[in-house]
Chains A and B, each alone.
Chain A
Amino acid sequence: MALLEVNDLTTTFATDRGPVRACDGVSFEVERGEVLGIVGESGSGKTIAALSVMGLVPPPGVIERGSIRFDGEELRGAPEHRYRDLRGRQIGMVFQDAGRALDPVHTVRSHLREASGRQDDHGALLQRVGLDADLLDRYPYQLSGGQRQRVMIAIAIARDPALIIADEPTTAVDALTQVALLAELMRLRHELGAALILVSHNLGLISRVADRVAVMYLGQILELSPTAELVREPGHPYSAALLRATVPLDGDGTRLEGVGGNPDSLLDPPSGCVFSRRCPHADDSCAMSRPALVATAPGRHSACHHLDRFAEATRGVGYGS
């Protein structure tokens, strides 16, 4: 049994212009100790997927259908107090912008006291995330962006959760800090033996640390594959397009390519395959019916009608080739 099993998760927001499905039939699993990357453009539903797991979908959003099983327990429809017991204790969350997520009127110590439920030992917790214990009595505004983000991580791991959800944990800091933070997060995750869901728009970043990657677009998972295989041989035209738009670490001077077209709007999703309007391989059948996410190889899943044709055309696109 996987630690987290999300099945057919559909989260809908009622808007003035009709219902918007921020997550549309999303299914994935996270094994104990595994790192799952969720990658996608802005508005692809990756953050809402993470918040749905936490039971923190902001109004007017509701989970319309699907199931979320954590450690075998169905969370959908679970009472609020049950969620409260899980949050922080079983599932820790790292937010994108620690400048916003830390309360300016509380010191670091006060934040850690709230997160850990303990009265002391906060210095040790800070040292675990690579900060000096003498920062305990600082206010958030007295910390650098990287330090704030480390405090966020300390809050998330304060009670040794089994699952950490990190939503763009390094987006608010510069590139060097980003690398250091990510290394810190991976080290801590390893120490705790916790699973990690890493949500980011940056496939390059995710591909360096994730065991598996889920590629989302317009609320749907288009590909879910082991990272190494996805990077070597993307199993979906959108994954391939994202890869071509990613700065490789060992840049060899090849030009980056954009994904082509503009991101579709959730208010007016394409009929059929959500990527059909931007896909170079699309034909009439793509606009007609929505391809299901099916297993294409052991451990690999893809939602594409023309996998054969596409595989032929893009062989050799990935980094590893």
Chain B
Amino acid sequence: MTVAAEAIWLAPEPGLRASWRRFRRNHAALAGLVLVSVVLAAALFGPSVAPSDPLAGSLDARHQGISGDHWLGTDALGRDQLARILHGARVSVLTAVLLMSIILVIATVVGVAAGYAGGLLDATLMRVVDVVLAFPSFILALAITGVLGVGLDKVLIALGAVWWAGFARVIRGQVVAVRERGFIDAAEASGGTQLSIVRRHVLPHVAGVILVLGTLDVGSIILALAGLSFLGFGQQPPDPEWGRMLFDAKPYLQTQPLEMIVPGSAIAITVLGFNLLGDGLRDAFDPAGSAR
């Protein structure tokens, strides 16, 4: 009783405004926001500002270093690296963000249904999750791609099929915790339907966690996407994709390291940005937990 009362008293000021205030004071989070904004802008507008056609190669201009004509050099086929990075951002970043949104929707539906309904539905859904989680996700995605065949769409399906499970488990846990709080009982006692209670009293309490999880893991999705492309499963040549660019540059690592450094840095910067942003969001939404 007293414990509950104190917890309420000490609880941080809720609300988006307070979260934003905490976020704004966090320099790492702001840096993450800037990086993510730059990367997203590059993905959205990059193709229209790219200096040249990412597919047009010139055998006279192979393996060139940084120059006025080619700011980030050229690759083995003489294609402009900057143009390929900007065009590749579409695939590497936008697709990853889109895929993450779809994954979050699936995971939220499953997690909320399991956590709120409980009982048999909960047990069934969570056993499915257990099965998916029993395999290392990257290996499982690799196996699914092996069955489906190569291509960007197949890789996205494979990643989505393995990635939702972990999120669903975490979201379910959050929903179970929220369900224990008195206001769910109170909402039921005043005649709310299950759907309205989920919408009004459950989702707002798990939205922060979902957003944080998603942001933190976009980096991993980008890495996985690049990884699968690097292995030759994802985006097929000649279309540019960061992981594929790494793969193509591999033979020339010793002589032309720039060709690998450019896409590698693009991936690293993007992943760093999303991680910083995700950490910042987590601290902003859950200041009590950030001390852990």
Contact = CB atoms under 8 A, between A and B. Distances in A.
Interface stretch (A20-28, A84-92, A226-234): A84-92
B189 A54 contact: yes
A106 B187 CA distance: 12
Given A97-B182, A102-B183, A102-B186, A85 B191 contact: yes
**Which one of B196, B200, B204 has the highest number of Cβ atoms from chain A below 10 Å of its Cβ?**
B200
Given A59-B118, A101-B182, A87 B204 contact: no
A114 B182 contact: no
Interface residues of B, number: 27
Given A97-B182, A100-B181, A105 B14 contact: yes
Contact of A99 (B5, B189, B196, B200): B5
B130 interface: no
A155 B196 CA distance: 16
Contact of A141 (B1, B13, B187, B191): B13
B116 to A, nearest CB: 13
Interface string B1-41: 10011001001011100000000000000000000000000
Interface string A206-222: 00000000000000000
B188 interface: yes
Nearest to A102: B183
A95 B186 CA distance: 7
Interface residues of A, number: 32
B289 to A, nearest CB: 16
A101 B186 contact: yes
A84 B191 contact: yes
Contact of B190 (A97, A100, A105, A156): A156
Q: Is the interface of B mostly helix, strand, loop or mixed?
A: helix
A13 interface: no
Contacts of B11: 104, 141
Contact of B188 (A59, A85, A87, A103): A87
B4 A114 contact: no
B62 interface: no
24 contacts: A56-B188, A84-B193, A85-B191, A88-B189, A88-B191, A92-B190, A95-B182, A99-B4, A100-B4, A101-B185, A103-B187, A104-B11, A104-B14, A105-B14, A105-B15, A106-B201, A114-B192, A141-B8, A145-B5, A152-B186, A155-B190, A156-B190, A158-B190, A172-B5
Given A95-B186, A99-B8, 17 more contacts: A59-B118, A84-B192, A85-B191, A87-B189, A87-B190, A93-B186, A93-B190, A97-B4, A100-B183, A103-B187, A105-B14, A106-B200, A106-B201, A114-B196, A141-B13, A152-B186, A156-B190
